[in-house]
Amino acid sequence: MNLRQKVVSTACCVALLACFASTARAQSAIAGNVKDATGAVLPGVTVEASSPALIERARSAVTDDQGLYQITNLPPGTYRVSFSLTGFVPVNRENLQLPGDFTATVSVELRVGGIEESVTVSGASPVVDVQSTAKAQVVTRELLDVLPTGKTVQTMAALIPGVITFVQDVGGSGSMNQNFPMAHGMGARETVVMLDGIALKGMEGNGTTQSYSNVQNYEEIVYQTSGAGADVSGGGVRQLIVPRRGGNEFHGNFSGVWSNGSWQSDNVTADLVARGLQGGNKIDHIYTFEGGQGGRIVRDKLWFFSTARRQSVDEFVAGMFYADGRQGVNDQYVENYGTRLTFQLTRRDQLTAYADRVFKYLGHGDGGAGFDPATATRGWHRSPLYQQSSSKWTSIVSSRLLLALGVY
């Protein structure tokens, strides 16, 4: 292979990687058309989308010869969209709520007028994505904070119509082990988990192993159950995770959830006792303590967001007792410590780096009815190396071309 062939081959590989990375994103877009008062299309209109969610504050595009525009690779947030063209009255669209994995259609009409005039429109945000056939449900940051679930990407999927989890989760009881979502009869192997466009699934079990996630790292989670694009190989649930990145102002939050086993009802009946069941499965405790803090290192240039979490579910195991009569307990916890950095290299180029270290402890995971918890169950130590990490570079070449390259 000569030098020219090597260059062409490398360029093709980079282009293919960029295409695959950009199609598998959970980022959003704003698109539409601009016309004048007679209904004629207006090329050359400058369209700018600004939001506190953008580290560079604003992104812009120019309408083409058909009056169409598109601003891509936008994180969820509240946007202001402005339209301007010399000789026409500028129009501003305020308080546009943009969710994850959504293309908001914003079309306007400009009228001839003085430059000192302007029109500001504040209306309801679009609720239908007319440019995609995918069936998507968004779990927002507010829902992630307040709903009494296992607070993982997998257990949150049970909120979506048509989706069930491998183990039924009640108040977080099913959050300690692999608890993948299922839809349309498709299990874990058919599930797609993407964080900022990068797959998180492992290779163990032919793709059934999924990460132990800390939802404090996430701004939104978008679940798709139908109509996925050609970039998805499986027919199961597609989970698109939008990360939290910080901002120019310092913000943080903390939440704690705790439940005592004494609050649980007893379902051991006299008939079960007569059959030899001395004690049923029940909860000793459930708790989740988590927090996150984000802000700027350099204003409009370098942001961070760091998180920490400890989650534990200790369960009494049915029919498993120590010699002194105490019921055996499956003691377990998962800890997460993560940080994301977002660096705006230039107005068009952005670099992100992310790491989430996971520690898992499972005290008596092999115990069951008739086992001796002191000698016949396996105790797991804290996992020596269990983490998620990724880095990604994106470049907005134009309103029609986005390059993205990531490593997980």
Identify which of 320, 326, 311 has the alpha carbon closest to the alpha carbon of residue 364.
Answer: 320
Measured over the CA atoms of residue 224, residue 228, residue 229 and residue 233, the dihedral's sign is positive
Separation between Cα atoms, residue 158 and residue 352, nearest integer Å: 30
Structural domains in the chain plus CATH codes:
3-122 (2.60.40.1120), 135-407 (2.170.130.10)
CA distances from 107 to 30, 47, 81, 92, 96 (A): 10, 11, 10, 11, 13
Mean pLDDT by 10 residues, the chain (408 residues): 42 41 62 93 95 93 94 92 92 91 92 75 71 76 84 84 81 77 80 82 66 86 78 75 92 88 78 77 89 95 96 87 86 92 93 92 76 74 73 87 87
pLDDT for residue 26: 58
Tokens matching residue 11: 């360029």
pLDDT for residue 18: 40
Helix (H, G, I), strand (E, B) or coil at 145: helix
Cut 0.85: pTM above it: no
Helix (H) or strand (E) holding 318: strand 302-321
pLDDT for residue 378: 67
Separation between Cα atoms, residue 218 and residue 336, nearest integer Å: 13
